[in-house]
A and B are shown apart, each in its own frame.
Chain A
Amino acid sequence: MALAIILFPLLMAIAALLVRSNRWRPWLLPVTGVVHATLTGVVLGLPELSVSSVWLELDPPGRLVLAIVSALFLLCSFYTVGYLRYRAERPNKMFCACLCSFLGVLSLVTWAHHLGLMWVAIEATALATAPLIYFNQTTRSIEATWKYLLIGSIGIALALLGSFFLAYSMVIAGLEPSLTFEHLLQVAPQLSKPWLHAGFVLLLVGYGTKMGLAPMHTWKPDAYGEAPGVVGALMAGGVTSCAFLAILRVYHICLVAGEGAYISRLLIFLGLFSMVVAGAFMVGQRDFKRMLAYSSVEHMGILALGLGIGGVAIYGTLLHLVNNAMAKGVLFLSAGNIHRAYGSKTTEVVSGAMRRLPFSGALFLAGFLAVTGSPPFGPFISEFSILNAIFVTGHFWVGALFLFFLLVVFVGMSVTVLAVVQGPVPAAARETPYRDGWLTAVPPLAMMVVVLLFGVYIPGPLQTLLADAVHFLEVHP
């Protein structure tokens, strides 16, 4: 089963390389998405299928992330078809192939049950996404890709070093060396503390780079800004979630090792730092795609913060993982549409999107409200429960800072977003060919519906997924 879920997209990638027609090739993506989603559904429905080998096993957090990735890809795949219609002039062979393999490696991350294998998978995502960022083949996109690759690789290298440290902390303790997670969890208490600490810091920095925690976030605005909107959506919702999963696993190990206090402080620090950096750069941000990138940094900060608070906050954090993926999807896809329609992504040019694109404009605005944690959208529920946990655990100053940074982010973001959606439409933007169509408007709309739904009602299956994950993460002696 695992192999099916992981390998099928890779096969489809090869197929994409073989298909000739630039016109029909994109349709492979929806096929991949649908099949992958069905397989995922089956796996989630029948947990006994999820254990397949020592190296590949789908534990509850993995299930959650797999569900997120699969759903996100499904919706984005349809959007991509619509998007590529407007980019008919570009060969999309590499694009489609990479998208498919991207899905494959992300699934591998969720399945990987071995520290090294997970590292390999995450490294692979870097390779799969680079061509996607490079899609436009402008000098700017080259630069973005270069920075993404180099910074990402350095992060990955540090993660490798961190994994070695972790492994060595076993060797020192004279334990039977094996990097599968349940073994690590079993022996965690005996691990040598200094190596564990150092390893954790390196892993945090390394995977934090993929996740986009400040100050390792520097690649994010460039990559998200230059990549097509759909790539931004998949990265902000998929890659980040997988990187978070990696950090979550390490966090789990340290928790079991009895080092919860140590890492939670570091996580809280990194989380707040990411939030403030994101807020600072969102104020006066004219490029709305870069703004979305910083918003993603902010939300990674919230996730780190929630993880650092731990305990009751875990539920909210995992829920926020879901909400963030969906909300970011809405924002990036609608932003992509606006970008298409205006041929620009700065507020000097773009205004009146509500008039030019009633659907995308409204979705962009609604997505903004959702992502800034306004009721009744999903992120509000998750952020609220994180805040509640912060207060319950007595971190009042952290709570105050959290709220203040949320405010800064809101102020900064609102200026840009309102400038985009409100006001008169420039004459130049009326002639552009782009119109909201089924393929490009419905996927973000669907995501918006999901975000709204999670704000007022959490379906049973998701509830069980979250509950299992939370239960799984509770420290067991």
Chain B
Amino acid sequence: MGSMIDSLLVVVLVLNLFALGTSRIQSVIRIVALQGILLGIMPLSSHAPIDPATVGIAFLAILLKGMVIPGMLSRALRDATIKKEVEPLIGVLPSMILGALATGFAMVFATQLPLAGMQTAHLVVPASLSTVLVGFILLITRYKAITQVIGYLVLENGIFIFGLLLVESMPLVVEMGVLLDLFVGIFVICIIVNHINRAFSSLDTRQLANLKE
């Protein structure tokens, strides 16, 4: 089944690059939602006997990563009367190149780390690391609060991918990880973003730079 996961992971990596490459926030949100759904499928495809814990994880992941949070993001986007472009710190192409480089780095780094014997899918570690890095790139190179949240979600997705390695052994931990995403996600998005929007009548984090030395 490892080949199945690997192929899914390839899609995920491609989605990362798309996320970096798209300039409309709405479409970025869609991409992340799709990524979330894919992630949700993986645990089911990872190994033969399907136990309730795994199903739970998959269900939660698809629900949150694929629907709830993207939905809320779009709502926030609708409420916020802002330009719908991403406004990156650096252009679209450079950030894609950065993403590619990050992926390459992840591949190299992953080879340094030993893998478990029964490991069938070989892309998991590099994919998760590169997704994490792409999340960082989004966080660093985007100005809008919403896009930063998206970046954070991508980061979480990367971690979730790594969680696949542990699904069999300790599903509970993975569940908790997902669960916490829910908290933070909802909290950050609903409350703070709206407050920022109200207070600054914008979601541009460049206005959130008054506290400094």
Contacts and interface: CB of A to CB of B under 8 A. Distances in A.
Check A-B contact in the complex, CB < 8 A.
yes
Interface of A: 115-117, 119-120, 123-124, 126-127, 130, 134, 139-140, 142-147, 149-150, 153-154, 156-157, 160-161, 163-165, 167-168, 170-172, 174, 177-179, 192, 194-195, 198, 221-222, 225-226, 281, 290
Contacts of A124: 183
B166 A146 contact: no
B114 A192 contact: yes
Nearest to B135: A157
B148 A167 contact: no
Given A142-B192, A177-B169, A160 B148 contact: no
A126 B188 CA distance: 11
Given A147-B208, A154-B155, A142 B199 contact: yes
A179 to B, nearest CB: 6
A146 B192 contact: yes
A116 B173 contact: yes
A173 to B, nearest CB: 9
Contacts of B195: 134, 142
Nearest to A139: B199
B163 A127 contact: no
A156 B152 CA distance: 11
Given A149-B188, A174-B117, 9 more contacts: A116-B176, A117-B176, A119-B180, A142-B200, A150-B188, A164-B177, A167-B169, A168-B165, A172-B114
A120 B199 contact: no
17 contacts: A116-B173, A123-B180, A123-B184, A124-B183, A127-B187, A134-B195, A149-B187, A153-B188, A157-B156, A164-B163, A167-B166, A168-B166, A172-B116, A178-B170, A179-B170, A198-B113, A281-B213
A124 B179 CA distance: 11
Contacts of B116: 168, 171-172, 174
A281 B213 CA distance: 8
Given A116-B176, A150-B148, A153-B184, A194 B113 contact: yes
Contacts of A120: 176, 179-180
A154 B170 contact: no
B132 interface: yes
Interface string B61-100: 0000000000000000000000000000000000000000
B173 A163 contact: yes
A119 B176 contact: yes
A441 to B, nearest CB: 29
Interface in B149-203: 152, 155-156, 158-159, 162-163, 165-166, 169-170, 172-173, 176-177, 179-180, 183-184, 187-188, 192, 195-196, 199-200
Contacts of B188: 149-150, 153
Nearest to A126: B184
A268 B117 CA distance: 36
B113 A142 contact: no
A90 B213 CA distance: 29
B211 A140 contact: yes
B55 interface: no
A222 B211 contact: yes
A71 to B, nearest CB: 29
Given A161-B162, A179-B173, A172 B115 contact: yes
A287 B173 CA distance: 42
B113 A146 contact: no
B155 A160 contact: no
Nearest to A178: B170
Nearest to A223: B211
Contacts of B177: 160, 164
B139 interface: yes
B102 interface: no
B187 to A, nearest CB: 6
Contact of A161 (B132, B172, B205): B132
A153 B152 contact: yes
Nearest to B132: A161
Contact of B196 (A117, A140, A146, A153): A146
B124 to A, nearest CB: 10
B1 to A, nearest CB: 18
Contacts of A178: 170
A149 B165 CA distance: 28
A54 to B, nearest CB: 12
Nearest to A130: B187
A130 B188 CA distance: 10
A195 B114 contact: yes
A160 to B, nearest CB: 5
A130 B192 CA distance: 10
B145 interface: yes
A167 B180 CA distance: 18
Contacts of B208: 142-143, 146-147
